[in-house]
Structure 1
Amino acid sequence: MLQAVVLRAPEPDDLEFLFQLENDPDLWAHADVLPAPVSRHALREYLRHATASLADAGQLRLIISNEAQEPVGTLDLYDYSARHQRAGVGIAVLPQERRRGRAAAALRALLPYARQQLLLHQLYCTVAASNEASIKLFREIGFFQVGIRRDWLRTARPLGWENAVEMQLIL
């Protein structure tokens, strides 16, 4: 089911939404940083400086809003390379908003923006091999699997490791 979404820049009013999303332990397992709560102060500071361009900051966060203009997720471009015209892409949606087509709609909205305004040639993502929903999502949008990184992601289990699926989309 395709849902209407809008991608927009973060606003100061997004503080509580970002606080909820960033402090969701289920999302920590998919992050490349050590799991730790994020304070409102840190998020307030982030929002004060969130106006930097992709070229200046090397990353770009967009808010995914639903039909009622409420924030329901984030779409991040990261690891930007101006020379190679590529960026990594990550997406997070609130638990109660998942499986409604919002992530697919957000990615579909991103593609022409990435190609035409950001002048990107390609996007890529790294997905935990066990995250079948995300792998299916990215395939549905047109990403292809280009490799597997063995024991790439640390799991919540002590000394546990998981493979990562590398995916790519040429725009």
Structure 2
Amino acid sequence: MSDLWTGKNVRLRGVEPEDWEGFRDLTRNTFDARDAGQVEPPRSAEGFRSWTAERAGRPPGGEAFRLVVEVLADQAFAGSVTVGETDSRAGRFRTGVEIARGHRRRGYAAEANRLVLTYMFAEQRFNKCEVEVHAFNDASLALYRGLGFVEEGRLRQHEFFAGAYHDLVLLGITADEHWAAHPRPTLR
């Protein structure tokens, strides 16, 4: 069976209430949370359960959504991918991905991003995807450049955390650039 949401190693699926532990684990390492610009005070287990249950109850799609990255081999929670800041008039959107430490360096983030890009370009008629990456986050910069994203600018001293200001790198990819490197989905 051909499935737009399934790659060779991962599939993207909706958030389920039982994913709360996976989302909790994504926030436990302050350095990882900082890479995503999301350092927050610790949340209770109940807080994660209710946050995840609320997301699980949301209807699919819409202007912004989050999907779980699940490993095909064992159905393990590997992380999540988000779409947000959509602008249908201009034809652009933003995306981001978080992969749990134990699942990194296996190509899951790249595959999850390719699946989202294919959906947004082929099914939702968007023309451009943008991402923001902290300038010190070499792994994410390499990921997006490897996917064909091009650096479009840098916001100097744009974010403050860990006692200092940090640059933010803006990258983008167009639908044509994506299709030049990846096949379009087939009808059957």
TM-score by length of 2: 0.79
Alignment partner, residue 11 of structure 1: 16
In structure 2, do the counterparts of structure 1 residues 3 and 161 end up closer, same or farther at CA, with 3 Å as the change threshold?
A: farther
Summarize deviations over 1:92-124 as a string: whole Å, max 9, x none. Answer: 000111111111111122221111222211110
Equivalent position of 1:166 in the other structure: 170
- In structure 1, C-alpha distance between the alignment counterparts of 2:8 and 2:123, rounded to whole Å: 23
Q: 1:60 aligns with which of 61, 65, 70?
A: 65
Shift of residue 161, structure 1, vs aligned partner: 0.7
| Unmatched segments (≥5 aa) in structure 2 | 1-6, 176-188
The alpha-carbon deviation at position 28 of structure 1 amounts to: 2.4
Q: How many residues align?
A: 165
* Residues 1:141 and 2:147 are matched in the alignment: yes
Number of the residue aligned with 1:79: 85
- The code of the aligned residue for 2:91 comes to Q
Q: 2:131 aligned with 1:132, yes or no?
A: no
1:7 and 1:64 in contact (8 A); partners too: yes
Q: 1:132 to 1:44 in 2, by over 3 A?
A: closer
**Runs (5+) with no aligned partner, structure 1:** none
Report SS of the residue matched to 1:54: coil
Distance 1:30 1:73 in 2: 14
Quickly say closer, same or farther: Cα 1:3–1:26, change in 2 above 3 A: farther
Per mean C-alpha deviation after superposition, the further-off stretch among 44-53 and 6-15 is 44-53
Tell me how far apart the structure 2 counterparts of residues 129 and 151 of structure 1 sit (CA, whole Å). Answer: 10
Please show how residues 14-93 of structure 1 align to structure 2 within 5 Å: 14-33=19-38, 35-38=40-43, 39-55=47-63, 59-67=64-72, 68-93=74-99
C-alpha separation in 2, matches of 1:65 and 1:53: 18
CA distance in 2, matches of 1:42, 1:22: 16
Q: Which amino acid aligns with 1:16?
A: E
Deviation at 1:52, TM superposition (A): 4.8
> Rg bigger for which structure?
2
For residue 158 of structure 2, the aligned residue among 128, 138, 152 is 152
- Structure 1 CA distance for aligned equivalents of residues 134 and 170 of structure 2: 9
Contact 1:129/1:163 (8 A) holds in 2: yes
